[in-house]
Amino acid sequence: EADIYQTPRYLVIGTGKKITLECSQTMGHDKMYWYQQDPGMELHLIHYSYGVNSTEKGDLSSESTVSRIRTEHFPLTLESARPSHTSQYLCASSGLTGAAYNEQFFGPGTRLTVL
Amino acid sequence: QKEVEQDPGPLSVPEGAIVSLNCTYSNSAFQYFMWYRQYSRKGPELLMYTYSSGNKEDGRFTAQVDKSSKYISLFIRDSQPSDSATYLCAMSAMGGTSYGKLTFGQGTILTVHP
């Protein structure tokens, strides 16, 4: 079944740890996105990619980094986590042409807590 | 001023009520309009998708876009407790560097009580 997956779903870690949030999709989509969402707030785009070896920073500045070595995989890394990074991180993907260009499909999210 | 404004609510209605959710926007370049539904501790799921002005109906859900007023609406008929969720509007421009990038509203929290 075509879908988009995120792991872990929940993560509690201490300050200074390096973490990687995984995102994979089986829909064959070229475009992928990372959003940050705080409770009661809108989604903010932090990274996006239009294809392999293509990554761009989004509208909200983030200390995280991303990579796109394979079409289906778009991991997000924090080199040194801090309490200010506590948030929900949502991964999304969309097709490349026509109406599908704008329809984004979301994963279940990773809720990160940094102590 | 935010590009997309959405009343966060919360909105509480009895089962069977008609619900109206709204967003206003300021960017006249927006051409694609979407409504997402997000259950607690889940990712948003696409509910409705419209291009430019007009209405679109899907079962109990109707999406309306009025580009002249920069105003979009989502109507839910015969609301059910299972409709309780946060509803997010999202918009996208056509062409240029914004092509394919979505701008979201804050989300409206809806509770439908039996």
> How many domains does chain A fold into?
1
Q: Is B11's pLDDT higher than 90?
A: yes
The reply to whether A6 falls in a domain is no
A11, A94, A102, A105: best to mutate for the B interface, most B CBs within 10 A: A102
pLDDT at B1: 75
Per-residue pLDDT tens digits for B54-89 = 899 999 999 999 999 999 999 999 999 999 999 999
Give the residue numbers spanning the domain of A15: 11-110
User: Amino acid identity, residue B37?
Assistant: R
Q: What is the pLDDT along chain A (115 residues), one digit of tens a residue?
A: 669 999 999 999 999 999 999 999 998 888 999 999 998 788 999 999 989 999 999 888 888 999 999 999 999 999 999 999 999 999 999 876 555 556 888 999 999 999 9
Please say whether the structural domain B4-113 has been given the CATH code 3.90.1300.10: no
Answer yes or no: are the C-beta atoms of A97 and B47 closer than 8 Å: no
| B100 vs A58, A102, A108: nearest CB | A102
Query: What CATH number has the domain bearing residue A103?
Result: 2.60.40.10
| B102 vs A6, A104, A111: nearest CB | A104
The reply to whether A57 falls in a domain is yes
Contact flag A102-B4 (C-beta cutoff 8 Å): no
pLDDT at A47: 94
A95 touches chain B (CB under 8 A): no
Structural domain spans, chain B? 4-113
C-alpha torsion angle, residues B77, A106, A37, B4 (rounded to 10): -50
> According to DSSP H, which parts of A39-106 are helical?
none
